[in-house]
Structure formats: C-alpha cells, structure tokens
Amino acid sequence: MLTSRRFWDGIGGLAYAFAKADGAIEEQEMLAFAKRIEEAFRQIPTNFPQRAQAILELFSSLRYSSEEAYAEAISHLKAVREEVRQYRFDILNLFRAVIQADGKVHPYEAQFLERLEADLARIVE
C-alpha cells in the first residue's frame, strides 16, 4: 500500500507535537526528527517521496502549540485509516525511539506517547 501525503502530514505533525512538548524546537532537533522518520519509514512505499523535506517544512512553518499540532495530526491520520492500520506499530516504535534518543523522557512526551497509542488504536478499530 502506498502511503499518502495526508499520512506524512500526520507523522510530521506528530513529530512537531512531540518536539514541542518539551519546550522550544531547535534546528538540530528538526533535522534529527526528519532523519529518524526517513530512516524508520524508508521501507514504506509511498506516492510522496519528499516526505523528509515536507516534515522539515512543517517544522519551520507551524506555529501551533503541541496540543494543536497533535490534534491536527490525528485528524490527518483518521482520514487514512488503512494506512494507519498497516503502519500503526511502526509509528509507535518510531516515537518511542525518538523520545528516548536524548537519554531522558520528558513527562509530557511520555503522556503524548500513551495518548498516541490510544488514539491510533481508536483509529484502526
């Protein structure tokens, strides 16, 4: 199954929400998120090959709170239920790895991860 732009907008929005959860987003953090997403999802066929670039564009253009970005990302993912069904655990594993990458898990990031797990489960029901 090819993943859509909407799927990648959802993933990018989640990345932004997670990055923003522990404060300001630095350029290095943006690049690290885009790189990790590209590496983690390289095996996923897509009709949207510019996914890493699009994620960087989202990071630089969004001015949302982490809550607003999260809500918008989930709305994108609800629209592509079958894609989420197929890649749900890849999404969760990616964000688990990302929040642990700096050696510390901010409580807000842990809450987001729990919430993401529950929301993805609801999407695929």
The pLDDT of residue 8: 84
Percent of the chain with pLDDT over 90: 28
- The DSSP-derived string for 35-68 is HHHHHHTTTS-BS-TTHHHHHHHHHHH----HHH
Q: Which pLDDT does position 111 carry in this prediction?
A: 87
> What's the pTM value of the predicted model, to 2 decimals?
0.83
The share of the chain scoring above pLDDT 70, in percent, equals 92
DSSP designation for 25: P
pLDDT-based confidence at residue 101 (cuts at 50, 70, 90)? low
Q: Which CATH number fits domain 5-124: 1.10.3470, 1.10.3680, 3.30.1490, 3.40.50?
A: 1.10.3680
